[in-house]
Amino acid sequence: MNDHDQNGDDAARPNARPVVRLKPKAEARAIRHGFPWVYADELVTDRRTQALLPGALAVLEDVERRPLGLVTVNTKSKIIARVLDRNPDAEINEDWFAARLRVALALRERLFDQPFYRLVHAEADGLPGMVIDRFGPVAVVQPNAAWVEIHLSALVAALKSVTGVDTVVKNGTGRSRGLEGLPEETVVLDGLVGGPVPVPMNGATYMADLLGGQKTGLFYDQRPNHALTARLAKGARVLDMFSHVGGFALAALAGGANSALAVDASAPALELARRGAEASGLADRFDTRQGDAFEVLEALAAEGAEFDLVICDPPAFAPAKPALEAGLRAYERVARLAALLVAPGGYLVCCSCSHAADLSSFRNASARGIGRAGRRSQLIHTGFAGPDHPILPQLAEGGYLKSLFFRLDG
């Protein structure tokens, strides 16, 4: 297929958008049924397509030149096109963003009494490559795809209009931006951030650093798993490994735990956890320990420490397929070391946010680790991200979070 075949229609429509076309073996039916991505090996990448700037808008056609919708193109990315709208003539402007945001907001307002939640979860909310977390009057936008950067001013205007937030932060960090060829930066786009923001959740108050913390400053996805942990924590001695700002530890204390120890490699994260414990009135039962998680787990075992509830919520050990085998070995090691610290009849919670490690692989790795520690286990619950992190049914990759709740005997 030459350049003229690919784009010849454009000559008759000089104001028309560029056209990109699927290769003959690409699955157009999947796009029609809601799959939101086109991979680099599925698209005809002739000279004109290669010349499109990252984030450019184009009309996607099948091999028979039937339009499939409006897409954004980035030839630097393995996901070369993302479907924005089934209408190829849609205008991506403030009104378009506002319509998507109103639908997203309606769900969250039904789910939560207070405005602290994930407002936009990328493809599942019809805004691919974009995450927005809301912290009361502040919204943090993660533009993980080039097209979002191009339309950021329209997005911010719509966001303020629809939600009433007065401050918008751009958190341009993370692996996804590198894959899109985007630089890393965190800036306040509108309004003012005076310091960490208090976030009420599961009976505790968390302190979110919106400018210098991990991701958007707080992990909302674990909220339902925090809640179950709180039910298991009554009267318990709790160990929260990879604690960040005290996610599981503070929820456990709010649920009636006798004590909680939060362990993290980051001193600033532990300081925020301490401030959260103070704001929650839980500081007298809360302690922290800074260090490498594996070293701390081994040290605690050497000290003869014992806990009724241990939670391990590490960063993604297997963010992509090349890291899968090493990642699963790391999850197994975490489960083995943690299981040694759980009192008989106590509980171990193992979590993974790795896209490449599916539930079965992660569950098997965790069970192997528990078995290697000489412990017998019951899997009592499998938790996922909360409903403010919806999943597009056609995109299994959206279900990244897995939380396994084990009860240990012996």
- Which bin fits 343, alpha (ψ -120 to 50), beta or left (φ > 0)? beta
49 HSE (CA, 13 A, CB side): 30
CA distances to 54, 59, 296 from 20, in Å: 14, 6, 53
DSSP character at residue 177: H
Closest CA to 168 of 138, 129, 130: 138
The two structure tokens encoding residue 321: 């397929």
353 is catalytic: yes
Q: Is 239 helix (H, G, I), strand (E, B) or coil?
A: strand
- Taking the alpha carbons of 203, 387, 95, 77 in that order, is the dihedral positive or negative? positive
Instruction: Determine the Cα–Cα distance for residues 117 and 135; give it in Å rounded to an integer.
Output: 7
Whole-angstrom Cα Rg for the chain: 23
Helix locations, 166-292, DSSP H: 175-179, 223-232, 247-254, 267-279
Cα of first residue to Cα of last residue in the chain, in angstroms, is 67
303 exposure class (CB count in 10 Å sphere: 0-12, 13-18, 19+): exposed
- Yes or no: say if 297 and 242 are a contact pair by the CB < 8 Å rule: no
- Yes or no: say if 86 and 67 are a contact pair by the CB < 8 Å rule: no
Strands 197-201 and 204-208, by their bridges, are antiparallel
Which is the catalytic residue, given 312, 350, 351, 353?
Answer: 353
Write out 188-204 in H/E/C secondary structure: EEECCCCCCEEEEECCE
**Burial profile 233-266: b = 16 or more Cβ within 10 angstroms, e = fewer:** beebbbbbbbbbbbbbbbbbbbbebebbbbbbeb
Catalytically active residues, by annotation: 353
